[in-house]
Structure 1
């Protein structure tokens, strides 16, 4: 599309997921705020030193913020996430929404684009979100909102997030609410408040066009692989505890490695089948809590070429989707690979001994004195399991390799780059929303000029 010049500010900026998308559409960031020191270093490395980047937004006078057309921000979601304690406004992080309202009330940007977890809609029976909508209305804004999933926007990650667009002094338009999903229920509750609403031109996409294999690196350092011992234990757990069941059309469960069998434990500890996609990860790790998916795939002995994926202990199929990235430093992100026992490089597919051929689940042939290729005697593991790399996690959020490598070269550790990817908004989704957002600014400009 034609670039439309506009100015915006980015609050709770992280590594600039909004910025990476909006700059491509003609936006100019005139102010940003981020409190985390590692994210600040990454942001400055990515955006030419970012002189417009400031620290704690709670310490900044609203009048010191430059005038702007659009305010964007993914305000901290821990207070509303199903993985947290869900204290909402009682949690200090929950009150950071009021910082957005404070700045918007003082500066009156034409539009706002806000992002948060889907659980915000139902927190405290919907009261938290209703309060936010009422506040936005009180300071002059009409609202619309939609839940979008990153998997529909060119990245293989199942990441549902709510996006809120607020427009200053927009004419009220009633929503035509259909269905009974969480968004429809929330819209009916909000309409009952008699707040001003409008219909935003949301991007429509319901197709999954990429899979994990599309974002995996071709060469992966051995440090990302689990040891043979840990891999064997994990596979044994899956084999022992697997009890087939199905939870939804998208997610196929093949069992649980936790003794409890109710819905909560299936969700937290469940092992997902390769016929579905990954569920959204909760913000927990360790203790075997991480859900898992397994499908054997073929690779050469000693070759670390990946062909499957997992998060927080999950083992995911490369034909499936990544779970939602979280801030858990990527410790549980795993990929499963099958190892074939081969006698010679030219016999990788056949593994021939005389006229006999070996199947995948058979032990390797016994070496004889003529063999020179280092294949050991006995059974071979059919899987290798590894974490996703930080670069792969950044790809799952729509960032380029060049952006990731810039931050890595700035000295940001693996653990922080994992965390930064989990905290980010998906660039592809923001870009898709940004197109009708920018067009709306252009239309308003044309009306004003006319």
Structure 2
């Protein structure tokens, strides 16, 4: 028996072989069928790998009539690894139906991430404010999403505050892109130790520049002025008058602040707002206002009349006062809400309005912007909108009134303060 040629690679798949191999360990090629000195692989390519350097190159042969070498898989049924037929069992199982096997995808090994080209971490650092619309973009300092440009809810879009006997709610409404209203509520002690309650509501003039800043500055300045004057014993009506002047000074100061691209004089279309305020102290109710924000008196038992305590500084009010139109005609006119008095550097001569009342029964004062009274203008409408328990649940009542305006359409910012009268000591009558 002649000795088998020693090959270093399989002639079929070129897998490296070891000395003494009878079959290729990779493809099962029968190495005993290999000619002594193959010049080409079964596919016709030169089998140069492992070929001795002294072997001459064989001329290219025509293999069209040469049968292909036998290829016996190692798992071929009925044979052993050498191709010898095995004894057939007594009961040979029927072959299973052919099925096309779908090889499982083998995931490619992941390459190590290059820190220089890796995408940024989608999780922003702690404290980063994300857009409420797209939930991915960061919010810039001006309150807009850097990704989709959506304006973000601002702190002033909805505000609520409650003290023992006064509460206020402010809401952006359903049509405006920001809340240009502001309020301030507080309590103070008079020189005799009796309490005083303060509520200030301001409405920014939308046609002016920076109306939201104007309303905020005015409400804060008026409240601070009253907090300083009332404990010193200043009469509440005088204190209210002075507070309105302080608010006007604060709004005027905004017009004098330098701006980067001002194309008009500082007092042209300057920041502006309206103001209405109420003080309950020593059995006295004092109201002060400039513009068309209003105050209403609503008795608890509703046996007495509901009364509007303010007169608008508006075109409609002037027409009615002059006898040129009745109230229905004046407020139906498109010029009805054009205000004739406001706080601001470009306002006409400022004339703060103040009034003092001594109610003979318990009730509440509703201090509000036109965002509410546009939906409850008549006194009987306001009386129906105010909850019956407003005196003991002022915050709930303010929430209900804001909801009344939103349900009516919410075309404007809405701000409401509810002040019970007379003042109840802390803990008395609380809900």
Give the TM-score taking structure 1 as reference length: 0.24
Give the TM-score taking structure 2 as reference length: 0.25
Of Structure 1 and Structure 2, the greater helix share is in: 1
Return the index of the structure with the highest Cα Rg.
Answer: 2
